[in-house]
Amino acid sequence: MTDSVRRRLLQGAALSGLAGWAGGLASANAAGHPPAASLNVHDFGARGDGKSDNTAAFQKALDAAHAQGGGTVFAPAGQYLFKGHLTIPEFTTLRGIFAAPPAFVRTQGTVLLPTEGRGNADGPPFLTLTGNTPALQGLAVFYPEQDENAAAPTPYPWTVAHGGGDNLTVLDVALTNPYQGLRLGGAGRHYVARVYGQPLAVGLFVDQCYDVGRIENIHFWPFWTQKPAMMAWVNAHGVGLRFGRTDWEYVLNTFVLGYGIGYHFVETKDGACNGNFVGIGSDASGDALVVEQTQGRCGLLITNGEFVGDARPDSQGMIVRATNAGPVTLQNCAFWGPSDHIGTIQGAGPVTLIGCNFGDWDKNNRQSPAFVLDGGGATLAHCQFLPAGDGGGLRRIARVTENCRSAVIIANTAIGRAFHVEMPPNADPRRFQMGMNVTTE
């Protein structure tokens, strides 16, 4: 974020904050009700019988809460069918019975059953949260027409989407089987916590967030189905968490399993991501961590991550594409497989791995190195390389190509076999340095 952009955002936030506070207070006083008033969807004609269309009843309740200055719209336990979509306005919460994220939910508790948009991934989102401080809490979403026995999922629009305005909140929600889960962006300061489920194509996508989004305690796992054909499709095509333009995204304790890509960092028309990612994990992935682009100044800081790429013959734990120009730093992370390579590093951006553990590569005993360093400035320091394939008696740590701008490989430990790095012929010592690497053999 440039200094000029930061100044404009601060000025705009101050003005909009005053206007929002004054407008909200005036609206609450004019309505004659406190902002925290709670409304029950049953009083607006909703029926949780799994058959009646509840679109109009829920929207009427949400609009009534907004008209009185804000409040909570409560949906008791039941199965609520929707043939249309809903908008949650500012200062309004749609809430079900759950106080923690449920799992394996199809019929228990507060369950919303959307059917609109079948076959159209680009249609209107089922739940759009718009304005300042809209919230979704304590419910489950289940798509009753999604067929777990099919060879591929049926496309649907996003289940939850940010429709503009700051401070969107999603808490204690189960996204049992959506095609697309959450799309966040267009404003700042989203807060998403304790969301479980099995989104099939994309679990979560962040873009156009210009002021510190927060995401924590996400668990995307086969809570809906483990049928082989559907699982194979998700493992080939699905993405757990994808990040486009977001400034200072904070992500904590998130876990995905069985996706084609676990964590995906891309560049959209609005830019790329920088952020702090702690305690993140991707298991049974096609590729666990794929970086296509990061912001040039700050990039990605990833700590205490666990990455397993083993779903395909060519799976990897970490891939930094040739398109990446920003810094990527990983500390105290663990990678295992089995896989052919742990990772491939390309692009112009510097990539640093410090204090990480690597194991289970060279699964086909082809003397494959753990890392292919094929671009940027790569640093491997204070890492431990655990036993892998036979490797011809060597621990093949890295293959450094001429495309690599610089490589520093220092103070690492190889367990069980001799430490070996393949350097370019006549490697320039000003660009490539190794030292103090040891083996336990």
Residue 426 — pLDDT band, cuts 50, 70, 90? confident
pLDDT at position 106 over 80: yes
Joined together, the tokens standing for residue 313 give: 């013959």
Joined together, the tokens standing for residue 397 give: 């740590």
Segment 91-112 mean pLDDT:
96
Q: What CA–CA distances, in Å, run from 289 to 28, 215, 266?
A: 47, 17, 11
Segment 140-164 mean pLDDT:
97
pLDDT in tens, 67-100: 999 999 999 999 999 999 999 999 999 999 999 9
pLDDT of residue 430: 87
Yes or no: say if 76 and 40 are a contact pair by the CB < 8 Å rule: yes
pTM (predicted TM-score): 0.90
pLDDT at position 5 over 60: no
Segment 407-413 mean pLDDT:
95
Between CA 332 and CA 195, with CA 321 as vertex, the angle to 5 degrees is 55
CA distance 231 to 240: 13
pLDDT of residue 367: 84
pLDDT of residue 389: 54
Joined together, the tokens standing for residue 84 give: 């249309």
CA distance 250 to 301: 10
Average pLDDT, the chain: 89
pLDDT of residue 46: 98
Q: Where in the chain is the domain with CATH 2.160.20.10?
A: 34-237
Residue 393 — pLDDT band, cuts 50, 70, 90? low
Segment 322-348 mean pLDDT:
94
pLDDT at position 34 over 50: no
Rounded to 5 degrees, φ, ψ at 38 are: -110, 135
Residues 6+ apart with CB under 8 A from 310: 284, 285, 337, 338, 339, 360
The domain defined by 34-237 folds into Pectate Lyase C-like (2.160.20)
pLDDT of residue 411: 96
Residues 6+ apart with CB under 8 A from 184: 162, 168, 190, 192, 204, 205, 206, 207, 209, 213
Q: Which CATH architecture fits 241-441?
A: 3 Solenoid (2.160)
pLDDT of residue 9: 44
Residues 6+ apart with CB under 8 A from 23: none
Percentage with pLDDT > 90 across the chain: 76
Joined together, the tokens standing for residue 119 give: 């076959």
154-168, 291-305, 426-440 — which is least confidently predicted?
426-440
pLDDT in tens, 352-389: 999 999 998 888 888 889 999 999 899 999 999 987 65
pLDDT of residue 363: 82
Segment 423-439 mean pLDDT:
89
Question: Do strands 351-354 and 140-141 pair parallel, antiparallel, or not at all (unpaired)?
Answer: unpaired
pLDDT at position 229 over 50: yes
